[in-house]
Amino acid sequence: MTTAELIQGLLRDALARAASELGWPASDATLEVEHPADPAHGDYATSVALKLARPLRKPPLEIATAIRDRVAPHEAVSAVTVAKPGFVNVALNDAWVAAQVEVIARAGTDFGRTKALAGSRIQVEFVSANPTGPVTVANARGGPLGDVIASLLAFHGADVQREYYVEDTGTQVDRFGMSIAVRYRQLFGEEIELPPDGYPSDYIKDIARLLGDRDGDAHLRLPLDEQAKLFVPFGIEWVVGEAKRVTVKLGIAFDVWFMQHTLLTSGYFDETMTKLREKGYLVERDGAVWFDSPDVPRDKARDGEDKEEGWVVVRSNGDPTYLGKDIAYHRLCLEQRGLDRKINVWGANTQYHLLQMKIALPALGIPDDRWRVVLYQYVRFVHEGVLQRMGKRTGQFLLLEDVLDAVGKDATRFFLLQSSADRQLDFDFELALQQSNENPVYYVQYAHARIASIFRTASEKDLSSADADVSLLTDAAELQLVRHCLRFPELVAELRETLGVHALTTYAMELAGLFHGFYKGNRVVGDDAARSKARLRLVEAVQLTLRQVLTLLGVSAPDQM
RNA sequence: GCCCCCGUAGCUCAGUGGAUAGAGCGCAGGCCUCCGAAGCCUGAAGCAGCGGUUCGAGUCCGCUCGGGGGUACCA
């Protein structure tokens, strides 16, 4: 149980007693606790009395007082007070706070960990960039995001699979194959132009060259479209190999690389369509197969023209659409594979697809609460002095690997994780290089390394944190550190619901900042052996907490830097 | 046109409807005979605008302005 949950429980009990003793009518106001901005207001506060004032038709201060008077005594709490205009403030008992140092240090890598999701199998699907080129910084945003979400869910006991969905079929992939074929022909001196919808970048030439190295001119006499078809698996293999290599470099280990074409070759796609058809959700029109249901929006007024109703799942040429395949893929994961939940980390351009899926999956009997999408906004980058959107199709992008090589894994991850997913992110490569040494990740890592250094100093003096008496920790500066460590379990519990993992970076900076301030003003290893031991135990708890956060973020926690 | 996301300090970003809006970079100034100055301390500087809901709004609602995305038999 987190400290916040402890306090919340005490306050809720008090409210329930007040309500029953004073005959208050039931209310749907829930009692939430928060951390007051001003430490003078204590460690926790609730504004429930203010919210109850109207339904109970009583002054907030009277309600607050009634609650305060009924809070059961607890060793963790030193004072419960009422403040204008109707807050109930709770101050933690300093001795109890100090004792938590021991609890934290003993918990070790279990600190903050829960079993809340034990027994549930959850897939986190992320990156899943079109396999038509190398991973760019744009796709890469989903990398750390999905990876940290996966780590967080595992931290709460879930059995987590990290999955990369390789979308190796479809129109874009056809164009990819065509582009390779054109470059292949050029390799042997043929004068042939890349079609306008081809992929223009040089990596296609690299793939063609590798193909030429392997097979020589063996395929030269085939028609272009047959070459295109033939070269796709080779190209995909190259791209997937690159994606594996680069994501590993970014610190991500996918458990499953799911190849989309297996959905089709296994017959699972057709089976899924059959099931939809049986339930009456498919209609044939203009040679294509459409998904339609009463929930599909009917907006006929678009641009003054009538809109076709429904969405195509199989094109008139027989090829499944992305939507059709994704319906089958989700069914595969949630029914066939028996996953309890699927979490998709998708880029902002999938918002309409998301709407379609929200309507299509329930048609198959797959409820909303079994899958969830974390949508992240685009990463733009500065190209020739102008902010631009990245795209493999336009040939304008910044490669993830170039950034990784320039600023390193830790700084890259920390940068991409700092802002919330629904905020657009701009990446200036020059600025990133310039500021790489100023990246806040070093501020956090430095705190961790500094503590390691303290322990090196201590061991030279034969001091350790063993049998420390943490009750000697009574200074406000010391206890402030502990108080902040105690927020870590609260944060990760909250993130279990919100998945707003960027908050971990903010927390890491806060805790590091508190430690740096403490370090400046307080000697850990000093003349007083008992006090030194207690403080060693304290900074051990701080270091441990920092390490927990950094580990979740997938950022290294160095002992020296 | 319609739909979604976002506008917070010069820059990059935090900020669960609460009590005096924070951090890093940059800028001005100060701090190493003492566990690591990749640090600390001080200062200047901000909620795009207008209404509304609320005891209380950066946070919720509406409109305006600005940025991004979507509205395919692309993915």
- Note the pLDDT tens digit of each residue in A324-342: 999 999 999 999 999 999 9
A98-112, A380-394, A476-490, A511-525: least confident range:
A380-394
A293 burial type by CB count under 10 A (0-12 exposed, 13-18 middle, 19+ buried):
middle
Per-residue pLDDT at A303 exceeds 60: no
Position A451 confidence tier, pLDDT thresholds 50, 70, 90? very high
What is the Cα–Cα distance from A57 to A525, expressed in whole angstroms? 57
CA of A73 to C1' of B63 (A): 52
User: Mean pLDDT throughout A267-282?
Assistant: 96
Whether A134 contacts A244, CB under 8 Å:
no
Strands A386-389 and A121-125: unpaired
Per-residue pLDDT at A36 exceeds 60: yes
Whether A41 contacts A16, CB under 8 Å:
no
Quote the tokens at residue A227: 């070459």
Structure confidence at residue A314 (pLDDT): 96
Sign of torsion, CA A490 A493 A494 A495? positive
Q: Which nucleotides of B are covered by protein (CB under 7 A)?
A: 1-7, 12-26, 34-41, 54-56, 67-75
What is the Cα–Cα distance from A390 to A382, expressed in whole angstroms? 10
What is the Cα–Cα distance from A485 to A470, expressed in whole angstroms? 15
User: Mean pLDDT throughout A57-78?
Assistant: 96
What is the Cα–Cα distance from A208 to A194, expressed in whole angstroms? 13
Top CATH class, A3-92: alpha beta
Average pLDDT, chain A: 92
Structure confidence at residue A301 (pLDDT): 47
Position A304 confidence tier, pLDDT thresholds 50, 70, 90? very low
Task: Tell me the fold of A439-553.
Answer: Isoleucyl-tRNA Synthetase; Domain 1 (1.10.730)
Quote the tokens at residue A237: 């293999």
Higher pLDDT, A435 or A249: A249
Per-residue pLDDT at A30 exceeds 80: yes
Instruction: Name residues whose C-beta falls within 8 Å of residue A454's C-beta, 6 or more positions apart in sequence.
Output: A524, A525, A536, A539
Cα→Cα distances A511→A42, A145, A484, A485, Å: 19, 21, 7, 7
Quote the tokens at residue A348: 């902002």
User: Mean pLDDT throughout A347-375?
Assistant: 93
Beta-strand runs (E) in A167-320? 256-259, 282-285, 288-291, 311-314
Instruction: Name residues whose C-beta falls within 8 Å of residue A301's C-beta, 6 or more positions apart in sequence.
Output: none
Within window 312-331 on A, which residues have Cβ closer than 7 Å to strand B? 312, 315-317, 319, 321-323
Residue nearest to nucleotide B39 (CA to C1'): A516
User: Mean pLDDT throughout A475-502?
Assistant: 95
Within window 27-56 on A, which residues have Cβ closer than 7 Å to strand B? 32, 34-38, 40-42, 45, 47, 50-51, 53-54
Q: Does the CB of A177 sit below 7 A from strand B?
A: no
Structure confidence at residue A385 (pLDDT): 64
Cα→Cα distances A355→A272, A322, A360, Å: 19, 14, 9
ipTM (interface predicted TM): 0.95
Whether A50 contacts A87, CB under 8 Å:
yes
Per-residue pLDDT at A302 exceeds 50: no
In CATH, what number does A121-165+257-379 get?
3.40.50.620
What are the extents of the domains in chain A? 3-92, 121-165+257-379, 171-253, 439-553
User: Mean pLDDT throughout A462-473?
Assistant: 94
Structure confidence at residue A307 (pLDDT): 57
User: Mean pLDDT throughout A28-56?
Assistant: 92
Q: How much of chain A, in percent, has pLDDT values that exceed 70?
A: 97
Within window 401-430 on A, which residues have Cβ closer than 7 Å to strand B? 418-420, 422-426
Instruction: Name residues whose C-beta falls within 8 Å of residue A196's C-beta, 6 or more positions apart in sequence.
Output: none
Give the DSSP letter of residue A395: T
Structure confidence at residue A389 (pLDDT): 76
Higher pLDDT, A531 or A398: A531
